[in-house]
Structure 1
Amino acid sequence: MRDFISERARVIPPSGIRKFFDIALTMDDVISLGVGEPDFCTPWNICEASIYSIEQGVTNYTSNKGTPQLRAAISRYLDARFHTPYDPESEIIVTNGVSEAVDIAIRSVVDAGDEVLVAEPCYVSYSPCVTLAGGTPVPVPCTAETEFRLTADALMERITGRSKVVIANFPNNPTGGTMSEADYRAVADVIVDHDLLLISDEVYAELTYDGQHFSPASLPDLAERTITLNGFSKAFAMTGWRIGYLCAPPQITTAALKIHQYVALCAPVMAQIAAYEALRNGAAEMNAMVREYHVRRNLFVDGLNRLGLTCHVPKGAFYAFPSVESTGMTDPEFAESLLREQHVAVVPGSVLGGPGHVRCAYAVSRADLKTALERMEAFLCGLKT
């Protein structure tokens, strides 16, 4: 049967995140810091809005683009929060999670042979989606020395005559790095000078702890060159609802919509109704969750540094990205040994483009974070004996 499998499907790797998560599922008493999912339940008012719609028989298809009410609410939200005005009729598509938005954004602008500059470390799907679209992913390193920001110099070093698109995710998964307005202005000069597009995944936009999130599409130079991706999974604890959105200039949304309507048709109507309620009445619960993540960040990152696992303070998302180089182990060795010996699951940074580090999601309870630190300390002590 191997001869029937496409070359593109053969060359993309399986998710390194899911590998460790699947191992953890076979073990007892595991504290999983591996999967980036809020430990909060979706707020009840959001669930109730969806349940009520089902009770009323609202189970039909929607417009391919999403319901007019949700698109209008997204437009108002983005303009009010991040100063990025998008027309709800021609510049917004509601998608099946941000994962679908990533896929259709890439496929709508990438041709065979195009090079796509991917700011790394990053979420595992970007490069495989570029490969599946026929493009060539080119990693652009973001380092601990710059707090994992994307710099103009790093971008310049990887640009060639085939470069077409930049993919960036800030606040960042897995590092928690963020980008300021000044950071984006420097990068914008490079993007404009080399006639590039920017795909900006901002699903963690609301999860910031040291200042407001800055959206690059708010810059005049980047407004017509940016595809903004966002969703409800992280901010509103709605991972299983699979609801996100893509925003871009009309020419790009027209292309993306053609792909979306053939592969997904529309996002589930019940999830769209839930998302609409989240934007209308979800701010208080969202802010409470963010405050709790802030406390957990301080607790966990302080603990990692105390153990000698050097970790910069993440300014966004809910991940810590400590270095494990001091242990003398590679990051896959560290992650597998920690899981098998102390039942703490983390993700090797190398599968995310950050070798020498591990990703730890602090979207678990404070009690679990304290226990995880205790087990990590026992593991590190065992390495010294």
Structure 2
Amino acid sequence: MSNGESRPVSTLRLAERMSRLGTESAFEVLARARALEAQGRSVIHLEIGEPDFDTPPHIVAAAVQALRAGHTHYTPATGIPELREAIAREVSRTRGVEVGPERVVVTPGGKPIMFFTILALAGEGDEVIYPDPGFPIYESVIRFAGARPVPLTLREENNFAFDPDELRSLVSERTRLVIVNSPHNPTGAVVGRDALAELARLAQDRDFLVLSDEIYSRILYEGEFASVASFPGMLDRTIILDGFSKTYAMTGWRLGYGVMPPALAEQVTRLAINCNSCVPGFVQLAGVAALTGPQDDVSRMVEEFRRRRDAIVDGLNRLPGVRCLRPAGAFYVFPNVSGLGKDSRTIARDLLDEAGVAVLAGDGFGRGGAGYLRFSYANSLENILEALERMGRLIETRYR
């Protein structure tokens, strides 16, 4: 090869850890759905977990004002003081515990809290218990960190809440972290106070921490939200994951946060510095406006989600071979479609390819999701009703 010529790469050699990293099927299904739409097909999108509402105007106005005021430079890696203080006040009020800003780390979305917490706490030989079915990134990051993922099966007969006795049987001397998500993706289940109390007792008896994913805490239809961090002795054993994406329809803003023991916050901040440096100041000031401003838009959104939830649950339960629990939170339903005689991946594919309805196969959320589908009802009531009609026609012609 002559001087000045570059040598072509014959084989891309990836690090072994990349083989342990998973993905989210929602984005894969979205890409397939968009390809069908590009061919002129009509597709109703019930696959993506994203509110179909605009960010409230006063939040947008706060970001615009911040941009014009020059908030376009680096910010502290933990977050600006105004936002960390606002988060601390909000968490103190809603969880009933005294939280200071030294416990708060602001991140670009909620996923970094998940990623950084697991990387900081779990390594080779450690175990992390996670919900199954559950958000697929839990297992993905556990494996990437080199730890062993231990699934805690959530069952329909238990309204998809975890069984404390089953959790107790999974905890070992190697358990470093237990992940709980309430309200839950993909089922919409809400964990009750009794189960959380048992989790709190177990965490203190067996000396592990809890990552409590509370990103849907404001999207609740029945009862009151409860956090494991609120139980005696648990504030220093809990990492609360929350953010602005779901509550304030701010998915594209990428603004989340974690509330955790100060010693862990220092380590998570080190990871943030190595990864993303900081979150833009104008985005954080929009977050301050979200927390301290009017909450009417949130209430209206939740009421509309309630209306859609009732319509989709009632419609699914009228379909032959389908049964569906009524979720207490989030904006997902998780119908059991095992009565249709096909596996959930086949049904999801047929719904998209033949009926133009994009949904997710339940086993994309873990083995416990086999035989289920996940529908996001973050779409208009009109589209939800049309999707139910299309599904009904598919069942009648294809599965009966």
The normalised TM-score by structure 1 is: 0.97
Q: Does 1:260 align with 2:272?
A: yes
Identity of aligned residues (%): 35
Contact kept in structure 2, 1:151 and 1:187, CA below 8 Å: no
Secondary structure class of the residue paired with 1:58: coil
Question: Aligned to 2:235, which of 219, 223, 247?
Answer: 223
Q: Does residue 1:327 correspond to 2:327, yes or no?
A: no
Match 1:29 to one of 13, 17, 42: 42
Partner of 1:8: 17
Q: What pairs up with 1:263-274 in 2 under 5 angstroms? A: 263-274=275-286
1:131 Cα shift?
1.5
Tell me what 1:178 maps to.
190
Looking at CA atoms only, which structure, 1 or 2, has the larger radius of gyration?
2
Is the CA contact (8 Å cut-off) linking 1:93 and 1:253 kept in structure 2? yes
The answer to whether structure 1 residue 303 and structure 2 residue 315 are counterparts is yes
Alpha-carbon contact 2:186-2:374 (below 8 Å) kept: yes
Structure-2 residue corresponding to 1:314: 327
Moved over 4 A (4+): none
- The answer to whether structure 1 residue 191 and structure 2 residue 203 are counterparts is yes
CA deviations 1:208-263 (Å, max 9, x no partner) are 00011111101013222111110000000000000000111111111111111111
Q: Indicate if the aligned counterparts of 1:142 and 1:154 stay in contact, CA closer than 8 A.
A: no
- Whether 1:207 and 2:219 are equivalent positions in the alignment is yes
When structure 1 is superposed on structure 2, of 19-28 and 30-39 the one drifting more is 19-28
Separation of aligned partners in 1, 2:131 and 2:67: 41
- Specify the alignment match of 2:394 in structure 1: 379
Q: Is the Cα contact below 8 Å between 1:86 and 1:248 reproduced in 2?
A: no
Tell me if the contact between 2:79 and 2:279 (Cα under 8 Å) persists in the aligned partners. yes
Q: Is the counterpart of residue 293 in structure 1 residue 293 in structure 2?
A: no
Instruction: Pick the aligned partner of 1:48 from 51, 61, 71.
Output: 61
Once residues 84 and 168 of structure 1 are traced to their aligned partners in structure 2, the CA distance between those partners, rounded to angstroms, is: 19
User: 1:60: how far off?
Assistant: 1.1
The answer to whether the 8 Å contact 2:348/2:361 transfers is yes
Match of residue 357 from structure 1: 372
DSSP 3-state at the match of 1:364: coil
TM-score, normalised by the number of residues in structure 2: 0.94
Provide Cα deviations, 1:169-194, integer angstroms capped at 9, x if missing partner: 11000000001211201222222221
Distance 2:23 2:66 in 1: 37
Counterpart among 85, 89, 106 of residue 98 in structure 2 = 85
Alignment of 1:37-76 (within 5 A): 37-76=50-89
Q: Give, in angstroms, the shift of residue 13 of structure 1.
A: 3.0
Once structures 1 and 2 are overlaid, which stretch shifts more, 129-138 or 330-339? 129-138
Structure 1: gaps (5+ residues): none
Give the secondary-structure state (helix, strand or coil) at the position aligned to 1:220: coil
The offset of 1:7, in angstroms, is 1.1
Q: Distance in 2 between matches of 1:364 and 1:282?
A: 24
Q: Give yes or no for contact 2:139–2:149 (8 Å, CA) kept in 1.
A: yes
- 2:7 is aligned to none
What is the SS of the residue equivalent to 1:81? helix
RMSD of aligned residue pairs (Cα, Å): 1.2
Distance 1:84 1:30, change over 3 A: farther
Q: CA deviation at 1:111?
A: 2.0
SS across alignment from 1:221? coil
Which residue matches 2:253?
241
For the 8 Å contact 2:359–2:374, the answer to whether it is kept is: yes
Query: What one-letter code is carried by the residue in structure 2 that aligns with 1:85?
Result: E
Alpha-carbon deviations, 1:319-374, whole Å to 9, x = none? 00001100011111110011101000100110102111010000100001100110
- The 5 A counterparts of 1:275-286 are 275-286=287-298
Contact 2:23-2:137 within 8 A present in 1 as well: no
Contact 1:325–1:356 (CA<8 Å) still a contact in 2?
yes
Query: Is 1:159 the counterpart of 2:175 in the alignment?
Result: no
Amino acid at match of 1:368: N
Does the 8 A contact of 1:121 with 1:141 survive in 2?
yes
CA–CA distance in structure 1, aligned partners of residues 23 and 93 of structure 2:
39
Deviation of 1:2 (Å): 5.6
| Number of equivalences | 384
Whether 1:116 and 2:114 are equivalent positions in the alignment is: no
Letter of the 2:331 partner, please give it: F
Q: CA deviation at 1:94?
A: 0.5
Q: How does 1:341-356 map to 2 (within 5 A)?
A: 341-353=354-366, 354-356=369-371
Aligned equivalent of 2:4: none
Q: Tell whether the 8 Å contact from 1:105 to 1:246 is kept in structure 2 after alignment.
A: no
Q: One-letter code of the match for 1:66?
A: G
CA distance in 2, matches of 1:14, 1:242: 18
Deviation at 1:15, TM superposition (A): 2.4
Q: Secondary structure at the match of 2:110?
A: helix
Q: Deviation at 1:14?
A: 3.4
Query: For the Cα contact (< 8 Å) 1:151–1:186, is it kept in 2?
Result: no
Q: Does the residue aligned with 2:136 lie in a helix, a strand or coil?
A: coil
Match of 2:6 in 1: none
Structure 2: distance between partners of 1:325 and 1:294: 26
Q: After the TM superposition, which of the residue ranges 191-200 and 293-302 deviates more from structure 2?
A: 191-200
Amino acid at match of 2:96: H
For residues 181 and 66 of structure 1, the distance between their equivalents in structure 2, rounded to whole angstroms, comes to 31
